[in-house]
Amino acid sequence: MTQNHPFAITLDVGTSLVNHTGSWRTVRPEYVHRLPPCNHACPAGEDIQGWLAHAEGGDYEAAWRALVQNNPLPAVMGRVCYHPCEGACNRAQIDSAVGINSVERFLGDLAIEKGWRFDAPPAPSGKKALIVGAGPSGLSAAYHLARLGHAVTIREAGPLPGGMMRFGIPKYRLPREILDAEVQRICALGVTIEYNSKVSNIRDAMRDGGFDAAFLAVGAHIAKRAYIPAAGAAKVLDAVQVLRSMEGEDKPLLGRRVVVYGGGNTAIDVARTARRLGAEEAVIVYRRTREKMPAHDFEVEEALEEGVLMKWLSTIKNVDGGSITVEKMALDDKGFPQPTGEYETLEADSVILALGQDVDLSLLEGVEGLNVRDGVVEVGPNMMTGATGIFAGGDMVPSERTVTVAVGHGKKAARHIDAWLRGQTYAPAPKHEIASFDKLNAWYYGEAPKTVRPTLEVARRTSSFDEVVKGLDESNALYEARRCLSCGNCFECDNCYGVCPDNSVVKLGPGKGFEFNYDFCKGCGVCASECPCGAIVMTQEAI
């Protein structure tokens, strides 16, 4: 047998043969799929690299549809997510992380502008699910359950959807028309939201409504309190109360001088809100240093730009009318703040406490099997509580309290609820090895600095609730998408095909990648060393 191949060797031993190279090799190349670090870091479980690839090709609707397979709120998430994906992005070790969050926002906004709708659900399953709470976790679970064919009803204690997205995130970060548009798209799937419908007992609600399963997604709306001696006409408010009142017609009257006690994102939000309500002075008092402040650094920077003042290593001792006594703290040898006995007085018309929030668990009273610890409900790996058929997520379970985590909980719970309703067990696919930076060949990629999102002028911020951080236009969004390195997955750059000295790399066609013809591969490893995204590994040849 003679094969027309430039490196075939014909041996005349009675029969013409190809000299196969397998006997020369000790290792062979293989194409692999690795898990991009951005995907791995996303609490909502988005296939970030997958939808970025569509966006890179300019097919924005396909990118949006790939994105909403996991997250139904991209325009919201593109504004309020703290983008841990970008913190994990390998591109940051070349120049700066890909602007994943800004591209997500671009796609979400474009979908609203174009009126894109979710694909229609399959045939009804005949099963009914009750969701308690129309916040991010509840909306996410409702979306995924509806797309799986189940009838979904959300019961919301408040008058409007969104939960803490509406009542805890100011409009200058999340315009309400954006939130409403994405909620309406979920409702268009057939999801019913019943407003002003607080569930007082979950078992009674399930029985009376004929529900087969329930998902508890009650947000943390109850402000934590701290004992601070107060006398006279002291005006002490809680941050949740202030932010919630911003949704009504009557805005809170905070005065010209406002002191906020706390160091989280809620403290930042309420201080910036106070400035927009006319406070000439807004001061955040926090007992630790800036480095230990739980608020995200970019939010702290924006607050400082807007004139919010910070008093680090300080704690409020008492409030007496319009005067606040603050004690200065000092770090001990272990880095913990300790009182110094040194005091100062601040003048304030209002004191706002931003010390965290708790969840109202009263709907669980009398339900057997539940285990509540530290104010939250314990759930198993399938998100089910100790009570059969009752699942929980978001602020109700032990976890970081962010919109992205809540959306991820809703998706995860929906998949397990669907399996449970069908008498099955949901088993997620095993994850691939992470495509860490050391597995890439970074020389392939030139420097391309990240696009900086435009922002509202500082002079205009404190006089309105206009959105501060703006979105990218199409050209910038396309540029950002094309900065993706496609870590761990072939993007058909043709490097392996071009450098192989044995012509053993076979093209399978656009979008289908490549394969190796091992009859001619001698295992030199040039393809792996030249693959920019780390999608080729050299494995030991079987003996």
Interval 351-379: pLDDT, tens: 999 998 889 899 998 888 888 998 999 99
What is the average pLDDT value for the chain, to the nearest integer? 91
CATH 3.50.50.60 positions along the chain are 128-222+358-421, 232-352
For residue 92, give the nearest of 440, 434, 404 by alpha carbon.
440
Directed axis angle between helix 136-147 and helix 176-187, to 10°? 30
Sequence-ordered alpha helix ranges (H) in 464-509: 474-481, 495-499
Name the β-bridge partners of 28.
Answer: 539
User: Rounded distance, CA 353 to CA 236, Å?
Assistant: 7
> DSSP string spanning 308-360?
-EEE-SEEEEEEETTEEEEEEEEE-TTS-EEEEEEEEEEE-SEEEE---EE--
DSSP state at residue 451: P
Low pLDDT (below 70) residues in the chain: 1-23, 232-234, 543
State the pLDDT at residue 446.
86
Cα 446 versus chain centre, distance: 28
**Residue 324: what are its φ and ψ, rounded to 5°?**
-125, 130
- Residues contacting residue 38 through CB under 8 Å, at least 6 positions apart: 48, 49, 85, 86, 88, 89, 98, 100, 487
- Residues contacting residue 300 through CB under 8 Å, at least 6 positions apart: 268, 290, 293, 310
Q: CA quadruple 327, 299, 68, 146: dihedral positive or negative?
A: positive
- Residues contacting residue 115 through CB under 8 Å, at least 6 positions apart: none
Residues 489-500 pLDDT 10s: 999 999 999 999
Contact predicate 279/306, CB 8 Å: no
For residue 239, give the nearest of 218, 269, 263, 219 by alpha carbon.
269
For residue 533, give the nearest of 28, 40, 27, 31 by alpha carbon.
31
CATH number for the segment(s) 232-352 = 3.50.50.60
DSSP state at residue 384: B
Token look-up 């979920």 returns 186
CATH 3.30.70.20 positions along the chain are 18-33+489-540
State the pLDDT at residue 25.
78
Q: Where are the beta strands (DSSP E) in 15-150?
A: 16-18, 27-31, 128-132
CATH of 18-33+489-540, one of 3.40.50.10490, 2.60.40.10, 3.90.340.10, 3.30.70.20: 3.30.70.20
Q: Are strands 257-261 and 192-194 parallel, antiparallel or unpaired?
A: unpaired
The reply to whether the predicted model has a pTM over 0.95 is: no
Task: Count CB neighbours of 527 within 10 A.
Answer: 26
CATH homologous superfamily for the domain 128-222+358-421:
FAD/NAD(P)-binding domain (3.50.50.60)
